[in-house]
Structure formats: C-alpha cells, structure tokens
Structure 1
C-alpha cells in the first residue's frame, strides 16, 4: 500500500526514534530470579480448577520472589493478582510476564468475550495503566459487569495478556512481528476455549495494537477460523494488518473509534522496512474497509471500557450477540 498521511519517510523516522528508547525499556522489563511458570494440565472443563489453583500458587511464589529481590513495585502488583477469588488460566512472571484472567464460569457460559489489550500491558500494569479503566483487568471487570446485565445467557470474560505486548515507545509497536506471534497464541486460546465449552459463542474484543493481534489470528488465507467464533470488534485500532473485513473469512467485524482518540492521526500504511513490515494498513473504521461501525462515543484512547459508557455498552451487546441493538457509528 502506498504511504500517505505521515508518509513513508515520517513512519520510518518514527521507527528510528522508537529504537532509541526500546533498548532501555527492554532492560527495565527483565526481573531476574522469578519462578518458572507452573506445570499445568491441558485446558478442559475438568481441569479449570486445578489450573486456577496452580496459577494462584505461582502468583504467590512470584510475589515472594519479588520481595526477596527488593522489587516492591512488582511485589505490590503481584499481591493484587494473587487476591482470593481471582482465577488465572495462565500466568508467568518472567520479564513483563503473562496473565490470562477468567471472570465467570467458562464451562457454563453461553457467551464468552476475549479482551485483547494493546501496548504497555505487563503484569505490573494488568490492574492499573494510568487509570484502572485503562488497564486490562479493570476493563475486563467493567465488561463482565455489563455483559451480565445485557446477556440473555450466562457470560464469561477472558482478560487475555497472553502475548508479548510492545511498549508504546519502541520499534515493536510499529511492526506486525509481535502481532504475528501473538496471533498464533490467540488461536491456541480459541482452541482451548472450544475444548472447555464447545457450545459457547466467543467474541474477540481487540483494543489498539491488540486489533493487529486479532487480525493476525483470524485474517489471511491460511487461517482456520474456529466455528465457535461469533465475531470480533476492534476499537482504538491503528489497523488490523489485513486489507479489509472480508479477509476475516466471513466473521462479522465491528469497528469503533472515540471522537477524541489520538489514534485517528496514525498513518494507515504498510511498508517494508528493517526486514519486515511497518504499519498496519487500512483503517478499520473507513467505509472501504467494510466493517460494521459502532458508536464509540466522544472519549479518548483509554475510555472505551469506562463503566457506564456508550462504547462499553455497545461492546457488551456485540459480545452478548444482541447486535441489532448496537448503536451504529
């Protein structure tokens, strides 16, 4: 695709600037001495409780390790994750970590929403990223509450920090590399959810760079789309890395952007650079992309899952399968 907006030169300059800070960001993310991830049984309806218990023990062990190393900030965040009543399908504390939290009963749910976050998500920001509503954990709790209100069947939410999310100020955030890797991991999660509950209808809700991950998981000629996948919605998206909604194999694609979201100024380009592709292509809220547009309100990049907000309500309706009631953008 031919560069426009910022243009090819502007985009490559942004990559070069990001490279300056990416090395220091990566160095800060590593925390040596953390325990290895626990050995877990395969994901089935019958192993959920065992996985939750093993991962909670792993969170507690990682918290103690952080205490021994004098890493008070990591210790504080892990203490929150290890609170009783929280259920993690996967967890790891090495580096930026991994955490996949489940809200609700996966085995009994008729509708499951998988929330895929964007850049700067780590185990340290899982519950707080500038504000609680901007974080993956906070957004998932707000979404779960709204889905319980609007869904006609039991609902569950998976807060999926299951890929190496890039830092905003890094070259990775302008490349599809992490999204390609994350897309493979997200497809594995969809297979696991089908093993747990083959009757449930699953919807991907993808924020910012997470929409590139979702595009990689679902788009492309070589992607087998699980029959349980009912649809996907992208919001605050810089592009999905696919040329149009049609590339998603007939899966309904929704797209929304808040009126005050800075991502509207991102260049919708895809150019070869540094041995890969930089930029994410077509704008998902453009008419030519072909997505169903939902009203995302007047908020900014971190406001889509704010409790009581219009975009939160619309996203919950989409995940609940009540799409005829979604207000269109």
Structure 2
C-alpha cells in the first residue's frame, strides 16, 4: 500500500511477495494504485478489471511461470493507466467546464465491493498526501509518464529499474520524470498548514458562508485564491476558474442566497478538512479546500453527480 515519500525503494517482487501471504484481496492495492493514476474510481475500476481479465487470459503454464501475481498485475495495471492517461487528455478537452478528480470521503470503499466486503480493509481507500485533491490536481498538469513514474516510485515504493520496464524509458529517465513531478508538489507543500489549523480555517469559512459575512470571507481567502467547479455539464457550475478573493467571496455568498435551505457540513475530503452541501438529505456538492500560509488558496467544488456516488453510501 502507499508509503511516506522519501523511503528507500525495494524491488517490486520483494514488496508484494512479502504481502501476498497476508493480503485478503490484491484488488484493493490495484484500485489504490489506479485511482492515484487516474483520479476517477470509475476509470480505476475499468482498468483493474482489464488487468485481471488479462491475467486470466494467460495459459495455466504462463501463470505458473510468473513468480508474483500481484507484481505482474501492478505492471499491467500501470501500463493500462499510462495508455488511459494519454487518451484522457483528448477526452477532457471535450468535457463541459473544468474536469476535477473525484472527491473521496474519509471512509470510502471501492464501489463494486462495498456491498460484499464491508469488513475487508484492503477494499478501503488509503488516504494520504498522494490522494489529496491538491496533489491529484497537480498530477493532471504533468505528463502521463511523469505521473506514472511519480506514483510508482514516491507512493508505491518501486525502484526506477522496475518503472523503466513499465513506461518504456531508461531508469535514469524515470528518475528524472519522478523528480519533475516531485518539484511541482514541493513548491505547494512548503507553505501547507497543519491539520488543526486547516480544520479551523475551513470551519470559519463555513460559518462566514452561512452568515453571509463578506468581510470575514475576504480575511480567510488568499488574495489570489482560485475556485474551480466541476458540474460535468449535468449540473450548473462555473465554466471557468474564479480568481481573486473578492470574486470568490461574492460567488459563494451568491450560491448561499440561491440555495439558502441547503445544509453545509464539515467533512473529510480526500483526507483533508473540507465541506459538503446537502439538499433533501443527500449530498449534492463537495468542496476540497487547500490552506497555505494561513489562508485558503484553492477551492475545488465538485457538483457533478457522477463523481459523488461514493458519498451516498459512505459512513461519515
């Protein structure tokens, strides 16, 4: 499963051979990998199913010749994700408005097994830095090869020699790919606040929205704050980013006036303090919020109902 960045890498076969004897289901590992690659549970499901289909398409002799099933599946899953990332760029150019990664609640489980394996920890989304909305959004801006190299090395602990075989580059090239993605992340992480301060600022933002307190909103928002919304053409949303504290404050107060009866609750969103809006007892919007240097710098508002399915059955 994912690790803390900076630990030494081990050979892929060693990592997963040690775990194979105790893991109840390798699928959870593959789903956690694919989600970090693609930012979508639906796409991750498709990729993992494809990887398993390729495994079972092998002859019995071919499967017996493979030393580690999970290592083989990780390689195949990563290669399929690389192909998916390349084609996804063209698909997202046709997307209505901003495409944002899927928000995840703190107790999310992968959809296809939620009804049958509630007690299986391998089926739970592993929430860490690598699945925060800020990281997933940043990974959308790097090349597919950079994303794959970064996720495999910095999150899943694979050495560059193993990654080279997956992405079709030299180990040195893979090292550079991962380092390039890492530099993007490190610029943002330097000014990140601790979880308690993050939660306090999110709570104050919620209160200011509920009470229509424009001045407090301005004080909480960075002057260069960016607000991006994802409705996917299915729900009304801003088609372009909203930049600057005054515009952002007016936008959220305007939303509040239009939907006054909606409840706002504090939630864990991709492992960070965030907010959710409710209508008729159901979540219809999720806000992931980045706080740096004591102010809110980014808000990602997801209202596309296709990306909120996991919230309907989660235990928050």
TM-score computed with the length of structure 1 as normaliser: 0.27
TM-score scaled to structure 2, two decimals?
Answer: 0.28
